[in-house]
Amino acid sequence: SNPNKREREDPQEERPYIKKPPNAFMLFLRDQRPKVVAEQHMRDSAAVNAIVGQRWRVLSDDQRSIYFNQADEERTLHEQQHPGWSSKDNYGRKPKRVRRRAPANSSAASSSPAGSSCSQ
């Protein structure tokens, strides 16, 4: 019903949100999370992530390289599918809100401590 509101929503609909390609750890997390949940019988996300993080830290360089190579492939594929895309595209400036101010008389007298001390 408000024509100004419609104008602000349109630019967001034109640019879809494109996720960043996953890094090596995120691929490892995606691979290990179901295994940890099944083994430990826990659903707490923070606890599961902590266990996966410990597993990542003790992983050998050879095992890690598998995930780093996979991340490189994902990044290359992402660049081909979305040429010219930058992660900054997801974080554009939002229009500033316009604040409605209270009448100057009431806000200045009640909120200004200096005004009350000067009148004594």
Give the model confidence (pLDDT) of 7-58 as tens digits.
544 454 567 788 899 999 999 999 999 999 999 888 889 999 999 999 999 9
Question: Which structural domains are found in the chain, ordered by start?
Answer: 21-84 (1.10.30.10)
- Upper half-sphere CA count for residue 46 (Cβ side, 13 Å): 0
The residues near 61 (Cβ < 8 Å, ≥ 6 apart) are: none
Element (DSSP H or E) covering residue 20: none
pLDDT digits over 74-104, tens only? 999 999 998 988 888 777 666 667 777 776 6
Q: Which two tokens stand for residue 91?
A: 């974080």
Q: Which two tokens stand for residue 108?
A: 């200045």
Rounded Cα–Cα distance for residues 53 and 30 (Å): 12
- Give the three-class secondary structure for 75: helix
